[in-house]
């Protein structure tokens, strides 16, 4: 299963919306309930799924899902 497939599962669970499909250009503006609180929940869920730990600079610097994927590819464990 590729990273985007796994991220789709995480996003769907966090936002309780089975219709979500993320891609590299997906941002918080594209998902209705993606606010600052849900962002924290999302980051925690992504960290659990990919066995990766984002630092504050990475979290605050992410502009879209593509940047999240780049960090996962660099730092994530293969699971």
Q: pLDDT category, 75, cuts 50, 70, 90?
A: confident
Q: Which of 44, 48, 43, 42 is nearest to 77 (CA)?
A: 48
Q: 57: domain CATH number? A: 1.10.1200.10
The encoded tokens of residue 5 equal 């497939």
For residues 48 and 9, the answer to whether their CB atoms sit within 8 Å is: no
Helix (H) or strand (E) holding 4: helix 3-15
Q: Is the pLDDT of residue 41 over 80?
A: yes
Q: pLDDT category, 78, cuts 50, 70, 90?
A: low
What does the pLDDT average to over 35-44?
A: 94
CA distances from 2 to 7, 13, 34, 38 (A): 9, 17, 23, 23
- Please report the pLDDT score of residue 1 as a whole number: 74
- Please report the pLDDT score of residue 21 as a whole number: 97
Q: pLDDT category, 9, cuts 50, 70, 90?
A: very high
User: What is the residue range of 49's domain?
Assistant: 3-75
Look at the chain and report how many structural domains it folds into.
Answer: 1
């Amino acid at each position: 299963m590729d990273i985007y497939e796994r991220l789709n599962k995480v996003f769907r669970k966090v936002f309780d919306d089975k219709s979500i499909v993320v891609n590299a250009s997906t941002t918080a503006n594209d998902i209705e309930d993606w606010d600052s609180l849900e962002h924290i929940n999302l980051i925690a869920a992504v960290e659990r799924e990919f066995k990766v730990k984002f630092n504050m600079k990475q979290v605050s610097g992410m502009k879209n899902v593509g940047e999240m994927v780049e960090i996962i590819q660099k730092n994530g464990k293969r699971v």
